[in-house]
């Protein structure tokens, strides 16, 4: 559904992080983009592709849930919903009139570090949508009744993504408890109570603080004339002033972990137990990022991956098993998770996950397995770039999150250069006992009996504590 909140533990997202380039057998088409920056600081990236009469527009704001105000977890994402309400010259839901009603669509997503708004429209509506995006950057307005109604929608989104699905609370806790000081510890969706406390005044402050041209990147991909695009961008975005105040930035550094911690979480609706291990890893800009992404693919991409083969296929200790290098701007988490197969114990799945992690540390990945992982990356990048929207989002990832749009074309070279020794090195460096938090997720009905259980015994308080 639209105005989506992106769950952190999402395998498809992993693929979005690794990028593009050229390899020997199949040449990745290079993305030829133009870049300009307006006097007010707005960065504009564009790619012409006339293969269909449509165009994708993205506006990336460098603000995410890590910037949620104090006591307002979930606010950046709630704010994203409000951006579809009124502006000085647009009534609420007019964005839908300008897109959906002419055969286009729109949506947005909020992550820890960024908030991204996008539209796909027939190309003859490009000017109209540039006007509309400039409108909501420059002059968002919001009234109480629209605000209250949309806040209720986001609370339903919380229920639908966290409370109703069997493992919603598990993945929520994994992120919440894996960071100690960095605001990444606040899951993007927030909490019902903090959302309830949000006000119209918070919206206005948030807009003026973060929604400014020098904190935004406009991306246009598809069927347009570059000169015409420049003129329209100058006309609609040029007059928006750059505020004369510094942009607040999160400066908190997550301290290195100093020892294993264990958490036991309980849910009322847990069909099968689950286990998860998180390792604190560096930023996506780090030199170690490509090797961590490669470790993720080797562990979890496809039915030939190590976790599937070992936990799901051979040992049958897991209903499903996954890894995810969730690398963010300031720090990252490397997850390995499993939903425990019926009749098996969480301890068995945990040992099996740890054994696979140890294998990465002890033995270099075979050449053929590494080659397979590299081919999987190229193919998934090509698939992402089949659409204008996919291309625009690959460009946004490179420009805003990796800090350089050229990385849309150079990142895959780095991935292709990853060696078996690199994978082994990062596995030894980060996948250590001191750097791991281990989570077990059990049915509420087992709580009393598990009090006598060794690993769960000391951590059954609702908040979950370290051992």
Partner 1 sequence: MKSLINRVKAFWLLSLITVSFCVCVVAQEPQATPPPAGPPRTVQFPKPVEKTLSNGLRVVVVQRSEMPLVTARLLIKSGGEVDPNDLAGVADMTAALLTRGTTTRSATQVAEQIEALGGFINSSAGWDSSTISVDVLSARIQPAMEIFADVVRNPAFKEEEINRLRSQYLNNLKVSLGQPGAIARFAAARVIYRDAPYGHPLSGTPESLPRIKREDIAGIHSSFYRPDNAILVIGGDMTPENGFALAQKYFGDWQKPTTELPKMSIATPVSDAGNRRVLVIDMPDAGQAAVLAARTAIKRTSPDYFRGIVTNAVLSGYSGRLNWEIRVKRGLSYGAGSILDARRWAGAFAATAQTKNESGAEVAALTLQEVSKMAQESVAETELKPRKASLIGGFARSLETNNGLVGQVASLALYGLSLDEINKFVANVEAVKPDEIKSFAAANLNTDSTSLVVVGDAKKFLPALQKQFSQVEVIPVAQLDLNSASLRRAVSKN
Q: Scanning residues 330 to 369, which ones bind partner 1 (CB under 8 A)?
A: 339, 341-342, 368
Q: Which residue's CB is nearer to partner 1, number 162 or number 174?
A: 162
DSSP bridge partners of 130: none
Give the tokens for residue 432: 């250590």
**Please, which of residues 50-69 interact with partner 1 by CB under 8 A?**
51-54, 69
Residue 347 neighbours by CB distance under 10 Å: 16
List Cα–Cα distances, 211 to 61, 74, 140, 344, 398, in angstroms: 7, 17, 10, 50, 20
Helix ranges restricted to H, 49-159: 75-82, 94-98, 126-138, 144-158
Of 25-33, 258-266, 398-406, 422-430, which segment contacts partner 1 by CB under 8 A? 25-33
Least CB distance from residue 198 to partner 1, whole Å?
13
Number of residues engaging partner 1 in binding (CB under 8 A): 106
Q: How far apart are CA 236 and CA 2, in angstroms?
A: 26
Give the tokens for residue 429: 């460096």
Of 127-135, 279-287, 406-414, 425-433, which segment contacts partner 1 by CB under 8 A? 127-135
Q: Is 73 in the site for partner 1 (CB under 8 A)?
A: no
Q: Return the ∠ at Cα 51 (arms to 50 and 53), rounded to 5°.
A: 70
Of 163-171, 395-403, 415-423, 448-456, which segment contacts partner 1 by CB under 8 A? 163-171
State which of residues 149, 196, 465, 466 lies at the interface with partner 1 (CB under 8 A): 149
Least CB distance from residue 332 to partner 1, whole Å?
19
State which of residues 30, 103, 451, 458 lies at the interface with partner 1 (CB under 8 A): 103
Q: Which residue's CB is nearer to partner 1, number 48 or number 131?
A: 131
Q: Is 248 in the site for partner 1 (CB under 8 A)?
A: yes
**Please, which of residues 3-22 interact with partner 1 by CB under 8 A?**
none
State which of residues 12, 32, 101, 256 lies at the interface with partner 1 (CB under 8 A): 101
Q: Return the ∠ at Cα 155 (arms to 152 and 156), rounded to 5°.
A: 90
86 and 204 in contact (C-beta within 8 Å)?
no
**Please, which of residues 188-207 interact with partner 1 by CB under 8 A?**
204-205, 207
189 and 158 in contact (C-beta within 8 Å)?
yes
Least CB distance from residue 340 to partner 1, whole Å?
9
State which of residues 30, 39, 143, 181 lies at the interface with partner 1 (CB under 8 A): 181
Residue 300 neighbours by CB distance under 10 Å: 23
Least CB distance from residue 51 to partner 1, whole Å?
5
Q: Is 26 in the site for partner 1 (CB under 8 A)?
A: yes
Least CB distance from residue 436 to partner 1, whole Å?
22
State which of residues 100, 230, 234, 260 lies at the interface with partner 1 (CB under 8 A): 100
Q: Which residue's CB is nearer to partner 1, number 208 or number 466?
A: 208
Q: Is 183 in the site for partner 1 (CB under 8 A)?
A: yes
Q: Work out whether the CA dihedral 151, 153, 159, 165 comes out positive or negative.
A: negative
Q: How many helices (H) and strands (E) does the chain have?
A: 17, 12
Q: Which residue's CB is nearer to partner 1, number 27 or number 428?
A: 27
Across the beta sheet with 436-443, the strand order is 261-267, 436-443, 274-281, 332-340, 318-327
**Please, which of residues 394-453 interact with partner 1 by CB under 8 A?**
444
Q: Which residue's CB is nearer to partner 1, number 220 or number 431?
A: 220
Residue 414 neighbours by CB distance under 10 Å: 17
Helix or strand run (H / E) with residue 1: none
DSSP bridge partners of 55: 121, 222
State which of residues 29, 226, 259, 457 lies at the interface with partner 1 (CB under 8 A): 29
Residues 287-326 as x/- pattern, contact with partner 1 by CB under 8 A: --------------xxxxx---x--xx--x--x-------
Q: How far apart are CA 145 and CA 143, in angstroms?
A: 6
State the SS3 of 439-455.
EEEEEHHHHHHHCCCCC
Q: Is 165 in the site for partner 1 (CB under 8 A)?
A: yes
Helix (H, G, I), strand (E, B) or coil at 48: strand
Q: Which residue's CB is nearer to partner 1, number 274 or number 288?
A: 274
Least CB distance from residue 394 to partner 1, whole Å?
13
Q: Work out whether the CA dihedral 292, 294, 298, 302 comes out positive or negative.
A: positive
Of 180-188, 413-421, 422-430, 433-441, which segment contacts partner 1 by CB under 8 A? 180-188
The one-character DSSP state at 49 is -
Q: Work out whether the CA dihedral 404, 409, 412, 417 comes out positive or negative.
A: negative
Q: Is 122 in the site for partner 1 (CB under 8 A)?
A: yes
Q: Is 157 in the site for partner 1 (CB under 8 A)?
A: yes
Q: How far apart are CA 380 and CA 300, in angstroms?
A: 14
State which of residues 32, 244, 448, 454 lies at the interface with partner 1 (CB under 8 A): 244
State which of residues 11, 366, 367, 379 lies at the interface with partner 1 (CB under 8 A): 379
The one-character DSSP state at 163 is I
Q: How far apart are CA 55 and CA 364, in angstroms?
A: 45
Q: Is 271 in the site for partner 1 (CB under 8 A)?
A: yes
């Amino acid at each position: 559904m639209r105005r989506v909140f992106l769950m952190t533990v999402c395998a498809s997202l992993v693929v979005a992080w690794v990028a593009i380039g050229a390899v020997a057998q199949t040449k990745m088409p290079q993305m030829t983009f133009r870049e300009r920056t307006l006097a007010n600081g707005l960065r504009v990236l564009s790619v012409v592709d006339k293969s269909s009469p449509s165009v994708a527009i993205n506006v990336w704001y460098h603000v995410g849930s890590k910037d949620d105000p104090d006591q307002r977890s979930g606010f950046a994402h709630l704010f994203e919903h409000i951006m579809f309400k009124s502006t000085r010259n647009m009534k609420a839901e007019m964005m839908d009139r300008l897109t959906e009603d002419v055969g286009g669509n729109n949506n947005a997503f909020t992550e820890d570090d960024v908030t991204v708004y996008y539209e796909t429209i027939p190309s003859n509506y490009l000017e109209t949508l540039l006007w509309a995006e400039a409108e909501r950057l420059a002059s968002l307005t919001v009234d109480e009744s629209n605000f209250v109604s949309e806040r209720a929608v986001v609370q339903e989104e919380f229920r639908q993504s966290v409370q109703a699905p069997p493992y919603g609370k598990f993945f929520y806790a994994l992120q919440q408890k894996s960071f100690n000081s960095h605001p990444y510890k606040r899951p993007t969706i927030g909490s019902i109570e903090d959302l309830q406390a949000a006000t119209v005044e918070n919206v206005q402050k948030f807009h003026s603080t973060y929604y400014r041209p020098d904190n935004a990147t406009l991306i246009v991909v598809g069927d347009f004339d570059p000169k015409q695009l420049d003129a329209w961008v100058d006309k609609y975005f040029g007059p928006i002033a750059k505020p004369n105040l510094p942009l607040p930035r999160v400066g908190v550094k997550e301290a290195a972990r100093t020892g294993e911690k264990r958490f036991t979480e309980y849910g009322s609706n847990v069909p099968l137990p689950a286990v998860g291990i998180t390792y604190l890893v560096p930023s996506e800009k780090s030199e170690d990022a490509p090797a961590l992404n490669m470790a993720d693919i080797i562990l979890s991409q496809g039915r030939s991956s190590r976790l599937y083969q070992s936990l799901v296929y051979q040992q049958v200790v897991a209903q499903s098993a996954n890894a995810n290098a969730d690398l963010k701007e300031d720090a990252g988490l490397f997850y390995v998770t499993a939903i425990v197969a019926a009749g098996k114990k969480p301890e068995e799945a945990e040992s099996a996950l740890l054994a696979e992690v140890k294998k990465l540390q002890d033995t270099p990945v075979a050449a053929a397995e590494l080659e397979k992982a590299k081919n999987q990356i190229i193919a998934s990048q090509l698939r992402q770039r089949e659409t204008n929207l996919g291309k625009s989002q690959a460009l946004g990832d490179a420009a805003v999150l990796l800090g350089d749009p050229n990385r849309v074309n150079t990142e895959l070279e780095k991935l292709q250069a990853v060696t078996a020794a690199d994978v082994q090195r990062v596995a030894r460096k980060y996948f250590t006992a001191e750097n791991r938090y281990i989570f077990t997720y059990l049915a509420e009905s087992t709580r009393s009996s598990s009090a006598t259980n060794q690993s769960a015994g000391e951590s059954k308080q609702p908040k979950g504590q370290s051992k």
